[in-house]
Amino acid sequence: MSGIVAVVGRPNVGKSTLFNRFTESRKAIVNDVAGVTRDRNYGKVEWNGREFSIIDTGGYVDGSDDIFEDEIRRQVHLAIEESDVILFVVNVEDGITELDNGVAELLRKSNKEFVLVVNKVDNNKRSLDATEFYSLGLGEYYCISSINGSGTGDLLDEVVNKLPEEIPVEDEDLPKLAFVGRPNVGKSSTVNILLDENRNIVTDMAGTTRDSISTRFSKFGHDFIMVDTAGLRKKRNVNEDVEFYSTLRSVRTIENSDVCILIIDATRGVEAQDVSIFNLIQRNRKGLVVMVNKWDLIENKDTNTINEFKERIHRRFAPFVDIPIIFTSAVTKQRIIKVLEEAMIVYERRTTRIATSKINDVMLPVIEAYPPPAYKGKYIKIKYGMQLPTHAPTFAFYCNLPQYIKDPYKRYIENKFRENFELTGVPIQIFFRKK
Ligand code: GDP
Ligand code: GDP
């Protein structure tokens, strides 16, 4: 459990500049997953050994007019519901505006941890101007310049201080499953089928945060934990149809899981929002099973219908195509159990370790057959590879000039890994290191 930080504030105060500064600093330390488009609004930050997710809620407000007041209130409500710490960003150039006062009031009334961030304090004179923000009644503030970076280190220290303690989850070794997808795809229906059949052996257990209730249940002799079942039962007060809100709701659920079951509505096909949730799953390197639900509503099905649908999914999720896809109906209960079985298999694959000797027996000939292209006349020699002792499968290959190995070659190696080892539904990371 890492923690979620939401950035709120009026347009143009510098939220996305701050977001970029925080997420870019991390990019230098940890390689992003190759092929996952960088999300403008969701990123991971690492600071002093703590990792957290950061969400720029403002990025979703489209740019103009007086819809702002409502929209920003909604952002703040959502941030209060879904995050651990809120960064409330104001702009020293503008001073306090009416909207700032409104946001401050919402924050004062909530019990949420927040930090008041006065941005665009590019020089000392401006830090004197910043004192007016005391009158927001939020106490201490942090002066920063998102553009030149000053003050951002102290701000990060404070954010990490305010993150909740990392509490070990009960039954840490059981597979934690998350059912995610946009509204109306059939998440609740599916979860209810699985839990109702288990009525006697279902236990609700408090999760790592106040509102995330998870449920422990058994099926074919295996115990599972279904993450965030409360989220599927609770009625929310913001408009679920707005893409961003349901994507944001998925963040914590995904982070708390081992394997995600991404539900897609067969009658709608793959939509932009499905791709956003898919990207969140990839960025968090969780196991994945795609469940195409409402298959009962598709008429005149033949064998091609399934293949065409699979191809559409592959096109939208490329380059990640090595994923189990199951066609289901939560109404007839067709193949719902198959989904659970597949999730179990993905969970096991994700925790399997591959012996160094096996990796090299398979991969060294593959590398020899197609070595990395020479760079500026320098030959790149890969000596050996091994799995690293991390949570999700990560492999390192040791070589003389790792910096010259480009993405297409990394992808070639990943594809060969997938051809030779059982990794369907499992994200992997491959690093090249100096030896
Ligand atoms: P958002 O709408 O709140 O996400 O704001 P943006 O991050 O898009 O920034 C709005 C404008 O303010 C851009 O032109 C930024 O370059 C500028 N800006 C952001 N941070 C700073 C800062 O620390 N100092 C100064 N002088 N300008 C900034
Ligand atoms: P959620 O918002 O993702 O939790 O979706 P729900 O489980 O509430 O389902 C939304 C609607 O779709 C409800 O009216 C369900 O009865 C219906 N629905 C869910 N799964 C299926 C399915 O497989 N086939 C059909 N025909 N309807 C379904």
Is any ligand 2 atom within 6 A of the Cβ of residue 346?
Answer: no
Ligand 1: centre distance to CA 122 (Å): 11
Nearest to 373 by CA among 416, 414, 407, 398: 407
Query: Mind listing the pLDDT tens digit for each residue in 44-66?
Result: 888 888 889 898 876 555 544 45
Is any ligand 2 atom within 6 A of the Cβ of residue 186?
Answer: yes
Choice from 179, 180, 184 to test ligand 2 binding pocket (greatest atom count within 8 A of CB): 184
What is the band of 26 on the pLDDT scale with cuts at 50, 70, 90?
very low
Q: What does the alpha-carbon distance between residue 23 and residue 9 come to, in Å, rounded to a whole number?
A: 18
* CB within 8 Å of 84: residues ≥ 6 apart: 3, 4, 5, 52, 113, 162, 163, 164, 209
Ligand 1: centre distance to CA 13 (Å): 6
Cα-based distances in Å from 75 to 8, 9, 182: 7, 9, 19
What is the band of 386 on the pLDDT scale with cuts at 50, 70, 90?
very high
Mean pLDDT, rounded, for 367-381? 92
pLDDT for 164: 85
Ligand 1: centre distance to CA 242 (Å): 26
pLDDT for 49: 84
Mean pLDDT, rounded, for 13-20? 90
Is any ligand 2 atom within 6 A of the Cβ of residue 240?
Answer: no
Ligand 2: centre distance to CA 189 (Å): 6
Mean pLDDT, rounded, for 123-152? 94
Is any ligand 2 atom within 6 A of the Cβ of residue 167?
Answer: no
Ligand 1: centre distance to CA 33 (Å): 28
pLDDT for 67: 60
Residues 246 and 183 sit within 8 Å (Cβ to Cβ): yes
Ligand 2, residue 191: give the atom nearest the CA: 7
Is any ligand 2 atom within 6 A of the Cβ of residue 360?
Answer: no
Ligand 2: centre distance to CA 265 (Å): 9
Nearest to 86 by CA among 96, 101, 75: 75
Residues 25 and 218 sit within 8 Å (Cβ to Cβ): no
Q: Whose CA is nearest to atom 18 of ligand 2?
A: 186
Is any ligand 2 atom within 6 A of the Cβ of residue 231?
Answer: no
Ligand 2: centre distance to CA 294 (Å): 7
Q: What does the alpha-carbon distance between residue 144 and residue 152 come to, in Å, rounded to a whole number?
A: 6
pLDDT for 184: 86
Decide if pLDDT at 36 tops 60.
no
Nearest to 279 by CA among 310, 247, 301, 314: 247
Q: What does the alpha-carbon distance between residue 255 and residue 243 come to, in Å, rounded to a whole number?
A: 19
Is any ligand 2 atom within 6 A of the Cβ of residue 188?
Answer: yes
pLDDT for 85: 95
**Residue 90: strand pairing partners:** 118
pLDDT for 309: 95
Ligand 1: centre distance to CA 153 (Å): 18
For residues 419, 424, 429 and 432, what is the CA-based torsion angle, rounded to 10 degrees? -10
Ligand 1, residue 19: give the atom nearest the CA: 7
Q: Whose CA is nearest to atom 25 of ligand 1?
A: 120
pLDDT for 208: 40
Tokens representing residue 108 in the block: 């004062």
Which ligand places an atom closest to the C-alpha of 233?
Answer: 2
Which ligand places an atom closest to the C-alpha of 231?
Answer: 2
pLDDT for 212: 55
Looking only at the bridges linking them, the beta strands covering 203-206 and 213-219 are antiparallel
pLDDT for 170: 62
Q: What does the alpha-carbon distance between residue 313 and residue 264 come to, in Å, rounded to a whole number?
A: 10
> Whole-prediction pTM value?
0.81
Decide if pLDDT at 95 tops 50.
yes
Show the ligand 1 pocket: residues with CB < 6 angstroms: 9, 11-17, 58, 119-120, 122, 145-147
